Structure 1
């Protein structure tokens, strides 16, 4: 598998497909490597451009994949195309299937407690061979070491954080050195989707690359976040113009 990286506004994305990415992570799990995965959309790329600390967290990532179609289109516009989206939720589900097959252990950190409990119940229903080594909701004292200590004692194969960016990447970047092994991955609102609290766009909307529009219609309060898309497109266009001038 190639380690080719594609830079979009300073963020280096792995040139990979979903199948290749899961196979790559499966190998890391077999070898008990420590692995830090970020799935980044245009909003994350813009934030990294503006926030030096967050850029530093991303530089510690083992892999960054293109979560949004905007990143894929930007890479193509810059003449360095990516093969497809490799989204956080889909990778989460693929990794749960892998954990179910190989009886790996997982730790879940994030969301409200009621959402977390629904997520656990759904994982137990869909993936009964997964060992849930522990969990904690996302409302905790950052300085309290109890969660870190619990994960160290449990030694899970995978740790999934649904804290939203930049918190989830900050936590992993700052804490990962204290663990012996594990795949660490921030997955944003994926617990809410798996728990049924938030409905994901139907496959039709995903295939025509308008999942973002479906989410906006269902959650109008997201309109401010959606402003990142035209800003991102404008910055990519200016980057392209610089490269051709």
Structure 2
């Protein structure tokens, strides 16, 4: 399936529900294909708007999904509504569920060693049929070929890269030509949530679309990063009201 694209400040988001997207990724795995996934929130969009190299990475991804209610609301305001939010953590969980049914092989890259180990234990407990064929923490020399060579030899179906924005996308696209198959997806701080190191917002916060506020309350150090939200809103407002 070829998804329609919705352009938001230069970033091409796929017009797809979570179910449609997961089914599409499953088809790629069945066909031993290689694809790249970026789950983009307003912070990532603003980074891309201000960094032409990063924008190029996003435009070269096979799929960019709307990770953040701000993206969904912006698309609606601009007259090209998206079906729903397709968040990175939720996408990872849906892929793990699918992997538990179909015995996916996965590779985990990123986070601190103790967080990584916690994530692996959680996967082993909750998704026992998923095979974690390899892993490495997020502290390594990018010029060292050991990690990409290991991934290539293991041929995982899924490679989750938790190096944070923009490093995870930069790593994926600097290495992607070395691989022949697999879903390569940046997952930000998802290993922290999966391992229990960081608690995700309670469901009521998620339903009210204020998960970002919960993270800010719990991690005040995110305040500088959160400044991307009003800047994003201003850009969308200008796009909406100013003459073309």
TM-score by length of 2: 0.98
Aligned to 2:15: 15
Alignment of 1:27-106 (within 5 A): 27-106=27-106
Corresponding residue SS for 2:128: coil
Corresponding residue SS for 1:109: strand
Aligned to 2:189: 189
Q: Aligned-pair distance for 1:52? A: 1.2
Corresponding residue SS for 1:223: helix
5+ residue gaps, structure 2, are: none
d(CA) in 2 for partners of 1:206 and 1:192?
Answer: 18
d(CA) in 2 for partners of 1:8 and 1:102?
Answer: 35
Q: Deviations over 1:53-75 (max 9, x none)?
A: 11111122000000000011111
CA contact (8 A) 1:157 1:183 kept: yes
CA contact (8 A) 1:216 1:223 kept: yes
Corresponding residue SS for 1:180: coil
Corresponding residue SS for 1:65: strand
Q: Aligned-pair distance for 1:218? A: 1.0
d(CA) in 2 for partners of 1:212 and 1:3?
Answer: 27
Alignment of 1:131-142 (within 5 A): 131-142=131-142
Once superposed, which parts of structure 1, at least 4 consecutive aligned residues long, lie more than 2 Å away? Answer: none
d(CA) in 2 for partners of 1:16 and 1:95?
Answer: 16
Q: Aligned-pair distance for 1:229? A: 0.6
d(CA) in 2 for partners of 1:223 and 1:179?
Answer: 37
Aligned to 1:178: 178
d(CA) in 1 for partners of 2:84 and 2:97?
Answer: 21
d(CA) in 2 for partners of 1:2 and 1:201?
Answer: 33
Q: Deviations over 1:162-188 (max 9, x none)?
A: 000111111111111111100000000
Corresponding residue SS for 1:7: strand
d(CA) in 1 for partners of 2:153 and 2:3?
Answer: 33
d(CA) in 1 for partners of 2:65 and 2:10?
Answer: 14
d(CA) in 2 for partners of 1:64 and 1:72?
Answer: 13
Paired positions, count: 244
Q: Aligned-pair distance for 1:2? A: 5.2
- RMSD between aligned alpha carbons? 0.9
Alignment of 1:129-208 (within 5 A): 129-208=129-208
TM-score by length of 1: 0.98
Corresponding residue SS for 1:53: helix
d(CA) in 2 for partners of 1:36 and 1:76?
Answer: 26
